[in-house]
Amino acid sequence: MGITRFGIKWRQIIHKPLLSIFSLTLKHKIKLLRNDYIPNGRPTIFAMTHAFKDDAICVPYCLPHSTYIVAGNQEGISKTYMVAGLFLTGVIWVDRNDRKSRSAALEQMKAVCNKGGDVLITPEGTWNFRRIYPC
């Protein structure tokens, strides 16, 4: 199934209610310190540092609307509700070790942006265990 404008708009509608439900599964309360996002009416590629297991819930929760998350390890997500949540919010699966998978993920990212959606990536491609300081 491909990326559609309807799918992007549908995910925009369910974004906040869905993530509010998923935030209840977290051990800690989400507190947004600062949001420098300035909407410009064009698709945006957000980049986050993948620092802990729940950032796939926390970071999208802090964004103003739904984004397709590029996720690299489907097997590493052990909880069924997290896989369902990723599907509902929008996910692009990629095997970082497979050239064809990386190429297909890039094409899906382009399709999302070309249809008015946003993408969330972790540029380092894996967890980052260095100390992270808020800006």
Determine how many CB atoms are found less than 10 A away from the CB of residue 100.
8
Q: How many of the other CB atoms lie within 10 Å of CB of 134?
A: 6
Residues 42-96: tens digit of each pLDDT: 898 888 877 666 676 677 777 878 889 888 766 655 555 666 777 777 889 888 8
Q: How far apart are CA 86 and CA 69, in angstroms?
A: 7
pLDDT over 50 (residue 124): yes
Percentage of residues in the chain having pLDDT higher than 90: 17
Type and span of the H or E element at 112: helix 99-114
pLDDT at 135 (0 to 100): 44
Most confidently modeled range among 3-7, 60-64, 108-112 = 108-112
Which of 58, 67, 93 lies closest to 7, judged by CA?
67
Residue 10 CB burial class (10 angstroms; 0-12, 13-18, ≥19): middle
Residue 116 scores a pLDDT above 70: yes
> What letter represents residue 54's amino acid?
D
pTM for the whole thing? Answer: 0.76
Percent of the chain residues topping a pLDDT of 70 = 78
Query: Which of 8-12, 23-27, 125-129 bottoms out in mean pLDDT, i.e. has the lowest?
Result: 125-129
130 versus 5: which is more confidently predicted? Answer: 5
